[in-house]
Amino acid sequence: MIKLDNVSLVFQGGSVALSNVSTKIKEGEFVYLIGHSGSGKSSLLKLLYKEYVATKGDIDVVGMDVTTLPKWKVPILRRKLGIVTQEPQLLEDRTTFENISFALEVLGYEESEIEQKTSTLIELVELEESMYKFPSQLSGGEQTRACIARALASNPLLLLCDEPTGNLDPTLSTQIVTLLEKINRAGTTIVMATHDSSIVNRRKKRVLQLHQGKLMSDVPQGRYI
Amino acid sequence: MRRNPLLAIATILAVLVSSFLVFTTLSARAIVENNTSRWQNGVHVVIFLDDRVTSTAHKQLQETLESYSEVRMVEYFSKSEAAEEFKELFSGQQELLDEVDFETLPTSLRVNLNNPSDYQLIIERMEGNAAVREIRASGEAIERLLSLTNTLVFSATTFAVLIGFAAFILIINTLRLTAFARRKEIKIMKTIGASSTYIRLPFIFEAVFESLIGTSIAIGLGWSVIQYSKNSVIAQSIFDISISDSYLINLTLFLILSTLLFGFFASFVGIRKVLND
Ligand SMILES: Nc1ncnc2c1ncn2[C@@H]1O[C@H](COP(=O)(O)OP(=O)(O)O)[C@@H](O)[C@H]1O
Ligand SMILES: [Mg+2]
């Protein structure tokens, strides 16, 4: 599903975000990507959907060679992925329902399918009560769930979540993680970046740890030390 | 467009003026060319003959003229033919016709040249010839008219290009403002996996739409101006406002096509930056 081979990312100013990262993630896995702030978690995720371009190394995602992928083909890659960015990116002038159906419109779904599919996604993330609310009327957890629902619009093979529990209290964080595990059980591979140790320690999933851009450890049912 | 009504109006106006200039100057040039082309095929130099010399001398002069390589044709125009022409020209004015003694109308040789601008050569060669009373060449006036038209076309085209450029900048700015206001939406679309074309579409539509409105009004105005001048005083006296409908239709199609390309190009430039961010 994901293959990184000796990947480095150096920004223009010379700051090194990632250095020589190599790893493999198989289909159906649930992987936590952990590390302190600034350790390179977001950068790694962004490399996977070609928001950033690796300085060195080979990247393979959902069977596509990201390294040599021409720019006009990037949308094809992204349609196979679900992306939840670090800051919830919801359109303020649209309701939860509209924010999710917007994604389906962009993806070219038929008018008739959109309503049905949006409802299904809203049900999945349990936002029925808030579907006609605007983002400013949603709690942090609800916003994240709306983003997850939107990311699932394309039936992605792989869901990338960047600190989805970033500013949520433990109960809400657990809700999000439970939701993601449910999605994972349905077959979607998940990579979730976080620096929330309590969650990682409780869920006992595979843990990749980044430290100053280097992959420090890769533990099958890991803990966040 | 909803966000920047003033900018949209400015854009439409700039496109309008630019297209109108292109339309009218190209039409005007076509009209001048139509008129001068009739002249090109007509008489370039008229040599009025002195009646005091013999008609043999007149014949000789005609033969001399015909021997010049610059000359295509020489036509002998007798007194009676001149009288006929005079009567025809001033047919409405009986008083004038009554006044004229047709005997005083001179015989003339009407010269048609291969290249009308060689008229000066003929004048020089005829100088001092006893059979010649007077020489008239319309060349000078026509040449001045042509050069005036060229200057006009040149300056109007320059203005059209400048104003077109202003329109271009206006469109780019409108689109940049719109794109900036919608940057979050665009960012989300890109993350979801929308193609560049999909994201561009509304912008292309806006640019093409505004330009087309401007050009359409300009073309409408242009047609009216030509229709109006066909019936004007100038048209009935000096100039023949003859321009074929097919020329106007081609010009219209050309302008619309250019406008489409213009809109496409402007929208590409206008949102290039936002798309690449
Ligand atoms: N666009 C960028 N330009 C320059 N430096 C960046 C950029 N994005 C991230 N960095 C740097 O790369 C390093 C890793 O950042 P990031 O991937 O955001 O870490 P994390 O998500 O783990 O907090 C940091 O030092 C950060 O300053
Ligand atoms: Mg981050």
Q: What is the structure's pLDDT at B38?
A: 62
Token pair in block for residue A63: 């069977």
Token pair in block for residue A214: 């280097």
Token pair in block for residue A3: 């293959």
State the pLDDT confidence band at B234, using cuts at 50, 70 and 90: low
User: Do B15 and B78 reside in the same domain of the chain?
Assistant: no
Strand pairing partners for A210? Answer: A215
User: Do B198 and B180 reside in the same domain of the chain?
Assistant: yes
What residues 184-203 of chain B have any CB closer than 8 A to a CB of chain A? 184-185, 187-196, 198
B82-106 pLDDT tens trace: 888 777 767 767 777 777 777 777 8
User: Do B91 and B30 reside in the same domain of the chain?
Assistant: no
State the pLDDT confidence band at B41, using cuts at 50, 70 and 90: low
Distance from CA of B256 to the nearest CA of A (A): 30
User: Do B31 and B148 reside in the same domain of the chain?
Assistant: yes
Contacts of B14 (CB under 8 A, 6+ apart): B163, B164, B166, B167, B170, B214
Q: Are B207 and B175 in contact (CB under 8 A)?
A: yes
DSSP 8-class letter at B103: G
User: Do B153 and B132 reside in the same domain of the chain?
Assistant: no
**Prediction ipTM score:** 0.92
- Measured in Å, residue A41 CA sits from the centre of ligand 1 at 8
Residue B49 has pLDDT above 60, yes or no: yes
Instruction: Judge if the beta carbon of residue A21 lies within 6 A of ligand 1.
Output: no
* The one-letter amino acid at A130: S
Average pLDDT taken over every residue of chain B: 83
Residue ranges of E strands in A185-224: 189-194, 206-211, 214-219
Residue ranges of E strands in chain B: 45-49, 71-77, 108-113, 132-137
User: Considering CB atoms only, which of A49, A79, A89 is closest to B188?
Assistant: A89
State the pLDDT confidence band at B2, using cuts at 50, 70 and 90: low
- Search chain A and give the residue with CA nearest B182: A91
User: Do B182 and B268 reside in the same domain of the chain?
Assistant: yes
Residues in chain A: 225
User: Do B256 and B196 reside in the same domain of the chain?
Assistant: yes
Q: Are B272 and B199 in contact (CB under 8 A)?
A: no
CA B221 to chain centre: 16
Among B23, B111, B2, CA closest to B61: B111
Residue B4 has pLDDT above 60, yes or no: yes
User: Do B267 and B195 reside in the same domain of the chain?
Assistant: yes
- Alpha carbon distance A81, B128 (integer Å): 96
Among A61, A38, A34, A37, CA closest to A50: A61
Token pair in block for residue B103: 């005997």
Q: What is the structure's pLDDT at B39?
A: 65
CA B182 to chain centre: 45
Q: What is the structure's pLDDT at B235?
A: 54
State the pLDDT confidence band at B154, using cuts at 50, 70 and 90: confident
- Which residue CA neighbors atom 25 of ligand 1 most closely? A38
Q: What is the structure's pLDDT at A129?
A: 94
Domain range for B93: 44-137
Q: Are A121 and A82 in contact (CB under 8 A)?
A: no
Residues with CB under 5 A from ligand 2 (ion): A 42
Q: Are A51 and B171 in contact (CB under 8 A)?
A: no
Residue B147 has pLDDT above 60, yes or no: yes
- Of A104-113, B8-17, B148-157, B215-224, the poorest mean pLDDT is in B148-157
Q: What is the structure's pLDDT at B237?
A: 54
Q: Are A91 and A136 in contact (CB under 8 A)?
A: no
Angle, to 10 degrees, between the axis of helix B245-276 and the axis of helix B5-40? Answer: 150
Q: Of B137, B162, B193, which closes a domain?
A: B137
- Alpha carbon distance A180, A165 (integer Å): 11
- Of A209-213, B6-10, B60-64, B84-88, the poorest mean pLDDT is in B84-88
- Alpha carbon distance A193, A191 (integer Å): 7
User: Do B74 and B95 reside in the same domain of the chain?
Assistant: yes
- Alpha carbon distance A43, A32 (integer Å): 15
User: Do B129 and B147 reside in the same domain of the chain?
Assistant: no
Q: Of B108, B137, B166, which closes a domain?
A: B137
What percent of chain B is predicted at pLDDT more than 70? 92
Looking at the 3D structure of chain B, how many domains does it have?
A: 2
DSSP 8-class letter at B3: S
Residue that is written with structure tokens 């966000």 in the block: B3
CA B187 to chain centre: 49
Strand order in the sheet with A56-61: A16-25, A2-10, A56-61, A64-65
Consecutive H or E run containing B37? helix B5-40
Say how many C-beta atoms besides its own lie within 10 A of residue B51's C-beta: 15
- The minimum-distance atom of ligand 1 relative to the CA of A13 is 4
- Alpha carbon distance B263, B211 (integer Å): 6
Instruction: Judge if the beta carbon of residue A17 lies within 6 A of ligand 1.
Output: yes
| DSSP secondary structure of A57-81 | EEEEETTEETTT--GGGHHHHHHTE
CA-to-CA separations, B21 to A19, A212, B197, B250, B272, in angstroms, rounded: 61, 64, 33, 16, 30
Structural domains in chain A, sorted by start: 1-80+157-225 (3.40.50.300), 87-155 (no CATH)
CATH number at residue B113: 3.30.70.3040
CA-to-CA separations, A169 to A135, A147, B34, B226, in angstroms, rounded: 19, 18, 84, 76
B126-135 pLDDT tens trace: 887 878 888 8
**Pairing between β-strand A56-61 and β-strand A64-65 as defined by DSSP bridges:** antiparallel
- Measured in Å, residue A220 CA sits from the centre of ligand 1 at 26
- Alpha carbon distance A81, A75 (integer Å): 10
User: Do B227 and B246 reside in the same domain of the chain?
Assistant: yes
Token pair in block for residue B93: 């004015």
Q: Are A39 and A1 in contact (CB under 8 A)?
A: no
Strand pairing partners for A10? Answer: A16
Q: Of B137, B154, B169, which closes a domain?
A: B137
Token pair in block for residue A69: 């992928």
A131-161 pLDDT tens trace: 999 999 999 999 999 999 999 999 999 999 9
- Alpha carbon distance A186, B55 (integer Å): 114
Among A96, A192, A104, A94, CA closest to A146: A96
Q: Could you report the average pLDDT of every consecutive run of 10 residues in chain A (225 residues)?
A: 95 93 95 94 96 95 95 94 92 96 94 94 94 94 95 96 90 92 95 90 91 91 74
Q: What is the structure's pLDDT at A162?
A: 96
pTM: 0.75
**Which ligand has the shortest distance to the CA of A52?**
1
Angle, to 10 degrees, between the axis of helix A140-151 and the axis of helix A111-124? Answer: 130
Q: What is the structure's pLDDT at B240?
A: 65
Residue B1 has pLDDT above 60, yes or no: no
- Alpha carbon distance B191, A91 (integer Å): 14
- Of B31-40, B74-83, B102-111, the poorest mean pLDDT is in B31-40
User: Do B60 and B193 reside in the same domain of the chain?
Assistant: no
- Measured in Å, residue B176 CA sits from the centre of ligand 2 at 29
